[in-house]
Structure 1
Amino acid sequence: MLEQINESKAYIQQFAKERPVLGIILGSGLGNLAGEITDRTEIPYDQIPHFPPATVEGHSGRLILGKLAGKPVVAMAGRYHYYEGLSMQQVTFPVRVMKALGIETLLISNAAGGMNANFRVGDLMIITDHINLQPEHPLRGPNNIALGPRFPDMSEPYSKSLIAAAKSIAAGKGIPLHEGVYVGVQGPTFETRAEYKFMHIIGGDAVGMSTVPEVIVAIHSGLRVFAMSVITDLGIREEENVITHEEVLAAAKSAEPHLTYIFSELARQL
């Protein structure tokens, strides 16, 4: 894997004007933050060695180099998912490459289903912890100590200092925020009512099909992580609640300005 990481790094560095200090992963319908990145260069995934093409609607499949709030960044406009038929190593490979490029902090966004009765569609939830229900683990297999320890500590996967900073930023702008536990599942089906109830009983506030593998690899790599969910649907209703991907994208778009502001201000404070 190290050889592949270095090949990807070498290709991307041709377009980088300076070392990025911040990495960003943008989830479904949340790609417009890329528009805030100035002096940017965009590289389609299919041009980068060892990057699979993006296949999911709402994920444009571009790596963006530039500046956000004056800080050099590398951003993924679109991510990979295990349900696309990729291995967990492929899903998380871009995190390895961003680390190799020099980032120290990773900001992650996603669209998620709400399981907390206090949530409404369009709300933002800071992820304070997660429950991994994905069927494969991104660190399974031989461990290369050059990439990280065999048994990484996961007691604080989401940086408390970054969470505190985000809460302060939101309060100053009057942006309401929730905090909660994210449950990571395989997908691509949305959850049944019984599954929503089960995941809420075990401690989940929101559920989605991404993020957890990327966070695990980021922690394994020694990165600080902040992650936020946009609540795009509610799985706790008793009435009919048919969920479509189009509705998820629309809800994400409505919440995007607030998420963009918080991410930009976090970048400014680094």
Structure 2
Amino acid sequence: MAENIPVADYLDILSKATFTLKSFLSHHPALAQPRVLIICGSGLGGIADILESTASISYTDIPGFKTSTVPGHAGKLLFGLIGKNKVPVMCMVGRLHFYEGYSFQETTFPVRLAKKLDVSTVIVTNAAGGVNPEYKPGDLMLISDHINFPGLAGYHPLRGPNIEEFGPRFQPLSDAYDFELRKLFYTAAKKDLKISRNIFEGTYFFAAGPTFESRAEVRMIRTLGGDAVGMSTVPEVIIARHSGLKVLALSLITNAGVGDKPPYATEVDVKPLDEGMASHDEVLQAADEASKDVQRIIEATVNEL
């Protein structure tokens, strides 16, 4: 597992990345002061399609930025304008994950870089497995709280020396998911756009991955209060809040977690073990089918920021 580099070295790389992006944006004056960072989850890179007057830069051209290695994650930073109000945003088309072998310091680097560019709001999207029995593939869940399972075991994005210029040593998270932003999103979806798709609010359970959950783990997550489970988002949210940024986070439910106990070999009528088994292809397919609605809602939401 990758380890954190010393704070002085980290801040030096962050400064170089900031200089690189400011130099890049100096050629695009209308995009030079992004107000919102949008992080696109698996299969949700189509959010980039709602941006106008765009300019992109590859992750590999930004000091300190790691490369996304997951199918459905393009690996580029896209700047553009959203909505009638031409809100300037920066969009991560492809995120970085802990399970790819990166440290939390590396996976959350883009959030602190956004802070250095004076971004004030972060919108985080993800594809997640439904643990709440009411959730079906294609439903949306506004995240109102989370369970940071790796963090409770010591793998926390704020582990190590605190970087005082960003935030306090002990960061409160009881208000991690901004109420007004959630209200704005829901109003835009149901009142303004009249989206018929189910939109729930619930608790996101962060598991490190990359394996999908076992049946026993699904039952455990449900017992602990998780409504959806995924392999991202929470580290980025924690660093965003530590940096003083407002957060809106959205899960697209792409598969239903299988929590029934597996069949016993002694049973007469045995169901196949692969019934209901999750796959990344299933995740991408469900995301593709819902992406248009997600794009419309995010466009309407960002337009008001």
**Deviation by residue 1:179-204 (Cα, 9 ceiling, x = unmatched):** 11000010000000110110011000
Equivalent residues in 2 for 1:138-149, closer than 5 Å: 138-149=157-168
The residue aligned with 1:122 is 138
* AA of the residue aligned to 1:156: D
**Deviation by residue 1:145-173 (Cα, 9 ceiling, x = unmatched):** 11211111111100000011111111122
The residue aligned with 2:47 is 33
Query: How many Å separate the matches in 1 of 2:71 and 2:258?
Result: 25
The residue aligned with 1:251 is 286
* AA of the residue aligned to 1:260: Q
- Given the alignment of the two structures, is residue 87 of structure 1 paired with residue 103 of structure 2, yes or no? yes
User: Is the 8 Å Cα contact of residues 216 and 259 (structure 2) preserved in structure 1?
Assistant: no
Paired residue for 2:14, among 5, 30, 36? 5
The residue aligned with 1:98 is 114
The residue aligned with 1:174 is 194
Query: How many Å separate the matches in 2 of 1:166 and 1:35?
Result: 19
| TM-fit CA distance, 1:120 | 0.9
* AA of the residue aligned to 1:5: L
Query: How many Å separate the matches in 2 of 1:2 and 1:50?
Result: 10
The residue aligned with 1:192 is 214
| TM-fit CA distance, 1:237 | 5.8
Q: Which runs of 5+ in 2 are unaligned?
A: 1-9, 261-270
- Given the alignment of the two structures, is residue 205 of structure 1 paired with residue 205 of structure 2, yes or no? no
Query: How many Å separate the matches in 1 of 2:184 and 2:67?
Result: 34
User: Is the 8 Å Cα contact of residues 54 and 80 (structure 2) preserved in structure 1?
Assistant: yes
Query: How many Å separate the matches in 1 of 2:71 and 2:149?
Result: 24
SS in 2 for 1:13: helix
Equivalent residues in 2 for 1:251-270, closer than 5 Å: 251-270=286-305
Query: How many Å separate the matches in 1 of 2:163 and 2:208?
Result: 26
SS in 2 for 1:269: coil
User: Is the 8 Å Cα contact of residues 41 and 64 (structure 1) preserved in structure 2?
Assistant: yes
The residue aligned with 1:221 is 243
**Deviation by residue 1:17-49 (Cα, 9 ceiling, x = unmatched):** 221011100000000110111111111111111
The residue aligned with 2:6 is none
Paired residue for 1:15, among 17, 20, 24? 24
| TM-fit CA distance, 1:221 | 0.1
| TM-fit CA distance, 1:174 | 2.4
Provide the TM-score with structure 1 as the length reference: 0.97
* AA of the residue aligned to 1:151: F
| TM-fit CA distance, 1:15 | 2.4
> How many equivalent residue pairs?
270
SS in 2 for 1:15: helix
Q: Which runs of 5+ in 1 are unaligned?
A: none
**Deviation by residue 1:194-242 (Cα, 9 ceiling, x = unmatched):** 1011001100000000000000000000000000000000014647211
Equivalent residues in 2 for 1:148-167, closer than 5 Å: 148-167=167-186
The residue aligned with 1:233 is 255
SS in 2 for 1:229: strand
* AA of the residue aligned to 1:107: I
Larger Rg: 2
Query: How many Å separate the matches in 2 of 1:89 and 1:188?
Result: 18
Query: How many Å separate the matches in 2 of 1:26 and 1:15?
Result: 22
Query: Structure 1: which 4+ aligned runs deviate by more than 3 Å?
Result: 236-239
Query: How many Å separate the matches in 1 of 2:34 and 2:11?
Result: 20
Query: How many Å separate the matches in 2 of 1:237 and 1:96?
Result: 37
User: Is the 8 Å Cα contact of residues 112 and 230 (structure 1) preserved in structure 2?
Assistant: yes
SS in 2 for 1:53: coil
User: Is the 8 Å Cα contact of residues 62 and 76 (structure 1) preserved in structure 2?
Assistant: yes
The residue aligned with 2:264 is none
SS in 2 for 1:35: helix
- Given the alignment of the two structures, is residue 48 of structure 1 paired with residue 48 of structure 2, yes or no? no
Query: How many Å separate the matches in 2 of 1:75 and 1:217?
Result: 17
The residue aligned with 2:5 is none
SS in 2 for 1:76: strand
SS in 2 for 1:52: coil
**Deviation by residue 1:63-99 (Cα, 9 ceiling, x = unmatched):** 0111111101011000000000001100100000011
Query: How many Å separate the matches in 2 of 1:124 and 1:89?
Result: 29
User: Is the 8 Å Cα contact of residues 218 and 259 (structure 2) preserved in structure 1?
Assistant: no
Query: How many Å separate the matches in 2 of 1:267 and 1:119?
Result: 26
Query: How many Å separate the matches in 1 of 2:259 and 2:120?
Result: 40
The residue aligned with 2:7 is none
Range with bigger deviation, 96-105 or 239-248: 239-248
